[in-house]
A and B are shown apart, each in its own frame.
Chain A
Amino acid sequence: MSNQGPKTLFDKIWSEHLVGQREDGTNLLYIDRHLVHEVTSPQAFEGLKLSNRPVHRPEATIAVADHNVPTINRQNIEDPQSKIQVETLAKNTKEHGIQYFDLMDQRQGIVHIIGPEQGITQPGMTIVCGDSHTSTHGAFGALAFGIGTSEVEHVLATQTIVQNPAKNMRISVNGELPFGVNSKDLILYIIGKIGTAGGTGHVIEYAGSSIMGLSMEGRMTICNMSIEAGARAGLISPDQTTFNYIKGRPYAPGTEHWDQAVEYWSSLPSDNDANYDHEIVIDSSEIDPMVTWGTSPEDVVSVKGTVPNPSSAKTENKKKSIERSLEYMGLKPGTKITDIKLDKIFIGSCTNGRIEDLRKVASIVKDKKIASHVQAMIVPGSGLVKKQAEEEGIDIILKDAGFEWREAGCSMCLGMNPDQLKPGERCASTSNRNFEGRQGRGGRTHLMSPELAAASAITGNISDIRDFT
């Protein structure tokens, strides 16, 4: 990558963070913020201890327990292993002087919800976390990606990471979003179009009027699922919407630096004639509310569509893959999506556990009751999202409709805590992965937007929000 000529947003952040080149030819990239949670960090701290290495810059790391925390009765974590993991994080962060939001702290929540919420996430930063959905923070124009535990240890010890530059891909979505279509539908549509390996080796920059018209919450949903398209990171240019969101948050630049920061952030958007390795342009009018039918996030279809037939697959591999998915999902080819009956509804996760998501759900289920055969739960993304919702009376609306109102955490998105599907149970989920066994062994996940999940909770079948009044 040359220093001359037009640059993409990615190129700009990359060159600004380059510490230097090692003798082996790899690049050392400086990391501005490191987010740490209980599942992927214990072995990293242990590694530091074994080699007697200190944490290079403790104040650049923020820690929280989210993956296996219970969403009820959280004073006592019953699972002894989960308990040890949470306690280990508390101990490790204390030992190294790292800021830790404990379970009783209102700021506790899903790591990718609280970063933006606290103003930790800012444009132009490099942000890493031992979690693939770190891509979420790209919504602010920060280069943010998931890393493994060995890399967590590397970042703790050196505040850098060994990287080589990614390729640039731009996905532009233009036009006003049709009624009933939102950011979740957009990203599911994109994954369906390019496939789960479509973004491998790339950072995806999302652009176009449909994207730039989204709220920060909507932008986070898009960037969050970049990893499901195989990309390590997603990026959206920072603009006034971004600055307005950040201003005044606890970790945001204060008044003494605000103007200087905004000036820098305003220089970040990609240059007009910047070069991309791949470009995709989508007209938003072609997008419907989307639902997954299979066991990969690329297995998407319009809510008006039907379960695909393996015989229509273009390759033998794809055919086998569809057959395997249908068997696991207990679905027959040709079944109308809206004829699929549900057992559970899960609303939450780092994809859709923010206040805006909860408001949408509340507006749909207000003065209604969930179907008698479904169990529905809402898990706010953070303690502060929960508090905000309670201040707005959202919790009352949801509880009156029959939803369970839980404490913040990752919960049934990955089922590390007790919130899991039982074998054969079918769930409408606002989360990000429909992998086999993801939400519980034998559990069947249909990914969709909060609006669709809310409408589906009321009818008991997967439902099109556009038919729902």
Chain B
Amino acid sequence: MDKFHSLKGIAAPLPIVNIDTDMIIPKQFLKTIKRTGLGVSLFYEMRYDNDGNLIKDFVLNTSPFDQSKILVAGDNFGCGSSREHAPWSLKDFGIRSVISTSFADIFYNNCFQNGILPIVVSPENLDQLMTAAKNQIEFNIDLPEQIIKAGNHSINFEIEEFRKERLLQGLDDIGITLGYQDKINAYEEDKKNKKPWLFKKN
């Protein structure tokens, strides 16, 4: 997995609440069997008209926001389905951090699997950052220090330690868990005796 240490760049403002995963990446793009190539379809229905032409005034279609690495969005970002295509499409577009007041659980988790940093801030801080984003002020996100700097604003954020470490080191989660193979096997042996119906072969 790609490491995440710090990130500098302008942020795209998307002041909409409840941005769901169908909005982030509509269903027709879930038919791929690859993780890559979804960036062009990110926010498809907001970004393209019925004929597939760019909608010029949508923020990610305007310069300099078409180069954004950061998204500042309304409450409850990423609600809806479990599709990991949502963070895949964000990442493929170039977005490595999303800032909101809250995230849906599955989406939040999926971000960390893909080297994307979702940051939760207070509603007041979100307003400040939304304004800074609109004004094209450069953001500076420092993960080790857990701080977002944008213009005069300097905002600390919380992140669980294990998630931080995994991002900083770009760790392979499955590789780590496989280090506990003996424990998993022992668990299974124990349950085969205690709950045999769970191991019945069909």
Contacts and interface: CB of A to CB of B under 8 A. Distances in A.
Contacts of B198: 32, 122, 125
Interface in A320-362: 320-321, 324
Contacts of A285: none
A165 interface: no
Interface residues of B, number: 61
A154 B174 contact: yes
Interface stretch (A22-30, A400-408, A452-460): A22-30
B180 A154 contact: no
Nearest to B201: A59
B197 A253 contact: yes
A68 B27 CA distance: 10
Contacts of B97: none
Given A151-B113, A230-B76, A42 B200 contact: no
A209 to B, nearest CB: 30
B81 to A, nearest CB: 5
A24 B165 CA distance: 9
B20 A435 contact: yes
Contacts, number: 195
Contacts of A416: 27-28, 30-31
Contact of B76 (A150, A197, A414): A197
Interface of chain A, main secondary structure: loop
Nearest to B179: A22
A32 B26 CA distance: 31
B109 A441 contact: no
A310 to B, nearest CB: 13
B84 interface: yes
A182 interface: no
Interface in A138-182: 145-151, 153-154, 157-160, 162, 164
B106 A132 contact: yes
Interface in A71-92: 79, 81-82, 84-85, 88
A56 interface: yes
Interface in A231-286: 232, 250-251, 253-254, 257-258, 260-261, 264
Contacts of B187: 19-20, 30
Contacts of A85: 31, 33
B31 A39 contact: yes
B102 A197 contact: yes
A302 interface: no
Contacts of B174: 51, 53, 153-154, 157-158
A414 B181 CA distance: 38
B123 to A, nearest CB: 9
Given A22-B176, A28-B180, A151-B109, A441 B162 contact: no
Contacts of A201: 105
B63 interface: no
A327 to B, nearest CB: 13
B170 interface: no
Interface in A19-66: 19-20, 22, 24-26, 28, 30, 32, 39-40, 42-43, 46, 51, 53, 56-57, 59
A415 B28 CA distance: 8
Interface string A408-442: 00000011100000010000000001011110011
Contact of A42 (B33, B79, B165, B196): B33
22 contacts: A28-B183, A32-B198, A40-B83, A43-B33, A56-B184, A57-B188, A81-B31, A84-B31, A85-B33, A88-B33, A150-B110, A150-B173, A159-B188, A197-B79, A200-B105, A201-B105, A230-B105, A296-B18, A317-B17, A321-B18, A437-B45, A438-B22
